[in-house]
């Protein structure tokens, strides 16, 4: 076991209690990525459930998580035949860091949609036309774990020319070949840089709340990730992410609300 699987492993230490060893490579500076943390919470929720998939994960981020030991508490609130719900908390040094209401269920791998809305109006360009943000393949940290290839037209913020449109589009896969699966999708929905960077915002945009829904079992291959936003007002910004698999299926959707820091362009 290595890479993403090891980094998200949970060890059962009691009834509804788990421990994890959080991997600093899934973060930036001192703060671990929210999607990575949700992946750990979802893994614990599924382990404690009779069902296979985290259908709904509504996570609130209370404090930055640090690399190292964390404890998870899974408190089952309802155990139904179709779905089960638990409150899952991640605790470090005795303080709650992330809490999530997680509903698990089991999606059929061969389920055919009764209705599927249109794919995003602007697709991610072909992989060979997209760009890694990395100078080389020797990157460490988050970029060393995750292979993302960006639509260049959505990355103007990198060189000081933000597009003015809160959109980022990219291809996504884990470098170690893991997944995609139910747990890695939690990472995927929060892997893009903040789309508010294209509105001229500066710096970190801490996620306050993120809800994501798993909608289908993803097929092998690259995932197309579409990030957008609706409103930046009073320091609050929403970001919506849709994840489409290699067969063109919508496999995950999320919305988060984040604080956008000082330095926003008026």
**What string marks each residue from 79 to 108 as x (binds a copy of itself by CB under 8 A) or -?**
---xx-x-x--------x--xxx-x-x-xx
Residues 6+ apart with CB under 8 A from 32: 22, 24, 26, 64, 65, 66, 67
Q: Which is nearer to a copy of itself, 96 or 203 (CB)?
A: 96
**What string marks each residue from 14 to 33 as x (binds a copy of itself by CB under 8 A) or -?**
--------------------
Closest distance between a copy of itself and the C-beta of residue 196, in Å?
Answer: 8
User: C-alpha angle with apex 76: 33 to 10, nearest 5 degrees?
Assistant: 40
Instruction: Report whether 255 contacts 217 (CB < 8 A).
Output: no
Closest distance between a copy of itself and the C-beta of residue 138, in Å?
Answer: 37
Residue 208 as a binder of a copy of itself (CB under 8 A): the answer is: yes
Q: Which is nearer to a copy of itself, 29 or 114 (CB)?
A: 114
Q: Which is nearer to a copy of itself, 58 or 158 (CB)?
A: 58
In our burial notation (b when 16+ CB lie closer than 10 A, e otherwise), range 4-35 reads: bbebbebeeeeebebbbebbbbbbeeebbbbb
Closest distance between a copy of itself and the C-beta of residue 228, in Å?
Answer: 8
Binding residues for a copy of itself, rule: CB under 8 A, are 55-56, 58, 60, 62-63, 77-78, 82-83, 85, 87, 96, 99-101, 103, 105, 107-108, 111-117, 166, 199, 208-209, 211, 213, 215-216, 228-236, 238, 242, 250, 253, 255, 257, 259, 264-266
């Amino acid at each position: 076991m290595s890479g993403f699987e090891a980094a998200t492993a949970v060890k059962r230490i009691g009834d509804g209690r788990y421990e994890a060893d959080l991997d600093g490579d899934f973060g930036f500076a001192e703060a671990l990525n929210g999607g990575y943390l949700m992946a750990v919470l979802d893994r614990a929720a599924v382990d404690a459930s009779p069902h296979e998939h985290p259908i709904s994960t509504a996570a609130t981020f209370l404090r930055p998580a640090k690399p190292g030991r964390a404890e998870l508490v899974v408190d089952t609130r309802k155990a139904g035949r179709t779905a089960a719900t638990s409150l899952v908390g991640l605790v470090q040094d005795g303080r709650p860091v992330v809490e999530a209401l997680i509903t698990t269920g089991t999606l059929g791998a061969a389920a055919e949609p009764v209705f599927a809305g249109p794919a995003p109006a602007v697709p991610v360009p072909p992989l060979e036309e997209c760009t890694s943000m990395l100078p080389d393949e020797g990157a460490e940290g988050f970029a060393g774990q995750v292979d993302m290839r960006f639509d260049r037209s959505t990355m103007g913020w990198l060189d000081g020319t933000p597009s003015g449109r809160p959109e980022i589009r990219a291809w996504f896969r884990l470098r170690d070949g893991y997944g995609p699966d139910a747990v890695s999708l939690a990472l995927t929905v929060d892997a893009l840089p903040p789309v508010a960077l294209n509105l001229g915002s500066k710096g970190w945009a801490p996620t306050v709340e993120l809800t994501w829904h798993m909608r289908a079992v993803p097929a092998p291959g690259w995932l197309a990730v579409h990030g957008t936003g609706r409103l930046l007002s009073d320091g609050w910004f929403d970001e919506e992410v849709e994840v489409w698999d290699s067969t063109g299926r919508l496999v995950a959707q999320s919305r988060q609300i984040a604080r956008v820091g000082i330095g926003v362009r008026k």
